[in-house]
Structure 1
Amino acid sequence: MLLLQLTLLFVLVLGAGSSDDIYIYHRAGDEVIMSCNSVNSSETSCSSIKWFYFRDISTTDTIVSDGQINEDSPQADKLSLGRRCSLTITNISSEDAGAYRCYYGNTYDTNVFLNILTLSANQSTDPVGGVTLTCSLWVYTGIYCVEDSLRWLDEERDELKQDDDEVYYSRQKKCVSDLIITHQMNHSRRYTCQFVINNEVKISADYTLVSTAPNKIIIIIIIVASVGLLTILVIVGLTVFIKSRRKTGAAEDAPKRARVPDGEESTVSYRS
C-alpha cells in the first residue's frame, strides 16, 4: 500500500497541470460525484477499488480501500460509493479541496482536482470601515491562481473596479479577493464573485448584503408620526387645562352672587 501511495504521489507531481487532468469547480455545501473511469461498465463489485486524496504534494490519504470507506478519514461521514464505484462527497467544505485519484486493479485514473469557492462577509477592520466580502477559491496546494482571476460584479452585472463610489476593491492575493464596501445603501444589494480563466467563468457565487442603515422613508414616517402624536397630546392637554380653569373660576364666583329666597318679595319705597 505504501509503495502504491508513493507511486501515485510521484505520478501526481509529474502529471499536475497536464492536459489529462480534470478540474471541477463547486461551491461550499454542494454535493460532488467523481467517476472512476477505469471501472468496467459491467462491474458490479467495488472490492478492487481504491480512492486516494491529495491535499498537497506531501500528504496522501487512502479514503477508500477495497471498496470500503476508511473510517479513520476526516471525510468519512461525507463519503460514499455509487454507480461504477464513483465517489460521492456531500456537503463539501474548503477542507475537501485537493486532488482525487481512483485506482482499480492495476489501472489508475487521471487526477481530478476539486476546487471550492466560498464567499463570506465580515465587519471590516480596514481603516475605511464598512463591510468586507471575502471570496476564496480553495485549491490543491500546488496550484496558484492567475492574478485578477477573481472578479466582482454588482447587481447590474457590471464589473467593479478599484475605488468605485460605493466600494473599495482590494486586489487579489493568491486565490483570495476582498471587496470592502465603505458606503452601505439603504436597501439590500447583491454582489457576485466570479472565478475566470481566459475570459471563461468557471464558477461564481452571490452574496446579498442586507443594509443595517435605516431607510429614509421609514425615518420620515417615524418623524411625522411623532410630531403628529405630540401635537395631539398638546391639544388634549390644553383642552383639559382650559376646562379645568373654567370650573375653578365658576366655583370661586358662586358665593359673591345675590340670590333671592323663594316666597319673598322685594320691598320698594316710594316717596311722594
Structure 2
Amino acid sequence: MLLLQLTLLFVLVLGAGSSDDIYIYHRAGDEVIMSCNSVNSSETSCSSVDWFYYRDIFTIDTIVSDGQINKDSPQADKLSLGRRCSLTITNISSEDAGAYRCRYRNTYEHDTVVYLNILTLSANQSTDPVGGVTLTCTLWGYTDSYCEEDSLRWLDEERDELKQDDDEVYYSRQKNCVSDLIITHQINHSRRYTCQFVDNNEVKISADYTLVSTAPVDLTSDSTPNKIIFILNIAKICLLIILVVIVTTVQIKYRRRTGAAEDAQDQDCVPDEQDSRVIYDNVENHQGPAQHHGQKKRGGRGRRSDVFNSQRSSEEDSV
C-alpha cells in the first residue's frame, strides 16, 4: 500500500515520463542551461515563469518565482535566467543533480521537466587487501534514478575497455550508479583512465582522471627501456657537472703555479743595485790621481783594465 502511494505521489509531482521530459548529462564544474519549452518564443518577460527543484519526491524547492531568483535558495548564487526564461546553473556539483520543473502561467499540463544527471570521478587510497588506489565513478541524478548493470564502463589510455582479469587493474561490481576501479601498485606512472555512462549503447557522458603514481621505479616492468634511458640521462648530467668542476679546479691551480714561477724569474733577472754600487765605489776609491790621468791619456780604455791596473799599483805600493 505504501509503495502504491509513493508511486501515485511521484506521478502527481513529476508526471509519468511525458514527452516534454528532458534528460541532460554533465560533469561536475560545468555550466548548465535548461530550457523552458512552455514559454512562447514571442514572450519578452519571465514574470509568469516559475522554476522548481526536486531532489526527491519529498523535497521541493522553489528557486524562481514570478521570474525572480529566490534568494533563500541554497543555489541562489549560481542561478540566473536567460533567453526565453531558460535556467542557467554555473559550476555545478553533485548537490545540483535532480529534476527541475518549469511552469508557465500556472498551466500544469504544459510543464517542462529537466532531469540533470552529473558524473563525478574521484580517487582515494584503496581499502582493498591488494592496496593501490580506487577510482570512484558516480552518476548523480534524481533520487529514484536507476543505472542498469554495466552501464558504467572503464577505458584505458588507448580507449580500450578494461577487463576484470587485467594485470594492473580490476574493478569491483557496479552498485546501481556507482562503479569502483581498483588500481594495484603495478600501475605505470601518469596514466589516464576514463569512466563512461552508456545508455542503450550510446555514450551519454564520460570523465577522465590522470593518476600520477609515486611508486618506486620497477626495472622489471615492460617500460624498462624508457626507465633505463631516463637513468642514463641523469648519469650523463651528473658526469658533465663533475667534469666541469675538475677542469675549473685544474685551471685555477695551473694559473697560480704559473704566476708564482714568473714572479721568481723576474726577481732573478733584476740586478742588485746596492752591490753594483759598492763595487764601483771601491774601484774608484783605489785609483789615485795618476791613474785617472793615465786613463784619460789612453783614450779611455775599458773599465776592466783600469780596475786591474789600480789593483796592481796598490799591490806594488804595499810591497
Instruction: Name the TM tier (shorter chain).
Output: 0.7 to 0.9
Matches within 5 A, 1:89-108: 89-107=89-107, 108=110
Give the conservation status (yes or no) of the 8 Å contact 2:32–2:90: yes
3-state SS of paired residue (1:44)? coil
Distance 1:29 1:139 in 2: 15
- Return closer, same or farther for 1:228/1:36 CA change in 2, 3 Å cut-off: closer
Report the equivalent of 1:113: 115
Report the equivalent of 1:11: 12
3-state SS of paired residue (2:209)? strand
Q: CA deviation at 1:12?
A: 3.5
Q: Judging by fraction of residues, say which structure has more helix.
A: 2
Distance 2:239 2:11 in 1: 78
- Return closer, same or farther for 1:35/1:177 CA change in 2, 3 Å cut-off: same
Report the equivalent of 1:213: 215
Give the conservation status (yes or no) of the 8 Å contact 2:185–2:215: no
Report the equivalent of 2:156: 154
Distance 1:118 1:52 in 2: 24
Give the conservation status (yes or no) of the 8 Å contact 2:103–2:112: no
Gaps of 5+ in 2: 1-7, 218-226, 243-319
Report the equivalent of 2:190: 188
Give the conservation status (yes or no) of the 8 Å contact 1:186–1:214: no
Q: CA deviation at 1:219?
A: 4.8
Matches within 5 A, 1:124-135: 124-135=126-137
| CA RMSD, Structure 1 to Structure 2 (Å) | 2.6
- Return closer, same or farther for 1:12/1:184 CA change in 2, 3 Å cut-off: farther
- Return closer, same or farther for 1:30/1:8 CA change in 2, 3 Å cut-off: farther
Report the equivalent of 2:45: 45
Q: CA deviation at 1:48?
A: 1.1
Question: Which AA in structure 2 matches 1:32?
Answer: V
Report the equivalent of 2:30: 30
- Return closer, same or farther for 1:127/1:219 CA change in 2, 3 Å cut-off: farther
After alignment, is 87-96 or 42-51 more displaced? 42-51
Q: Write out per-residue CA displacement over residues 91-127 of structure 1, whole angstroms, 9 at most, x where no aligned residue.
A: 0000000000101103242321000000111111111
Distance 2:216 2:188 in 1: 7
Structure possessing the higher relative contact order (Cα contacts under 8 Å, 6 or more residues apart): 1
Give the conservation status (yes or no) of the 8 Å contact 1:49–1:104: yes
Give the conservation status (yes or no) of the 8 Å contact 1:150–1:194: yes
Larger Rg: 2
TM-score for the superposition, normalised by structure 2: 0.65
Give structure 1 regions of 4+ aligned residues with deviation exceeding 2 angstroms. 7-14, 17-20, 106-110, 183-187, 213-230
3-state SS of paired residue (1:173)? coil
3-state SS of paired residue (1:172)? coil
3-state SS of paired residue (1:63)? strand
Q: CA deviation at 1:186?
A: 3.8
- Return closer, same or farther for 1:225/1:82 CA change in 2, 3 Å cut-off: closer
- Return closer, same or farther for 1:225/1:36 CA change in 2, 3 Å cut-off: closer
TM-score for the superposition, normalised by structure 1: 0.75
3-state SS of paired residue (1:151)? strand
Q: CA deviation at 1:226?
A: 8.1
Q: Write out per-residue CA displacement over residues 118-165 of structure 1, whole angstroms, 9 at most, x where no aligned residue.
A: 011111111110111110000100111111100001111111111311
Gaps of 5+ in 1: 1-6, 231-272
Distance 2:183 2:85 in 1: 46
3-state SS of paired residue (1:171)? coil
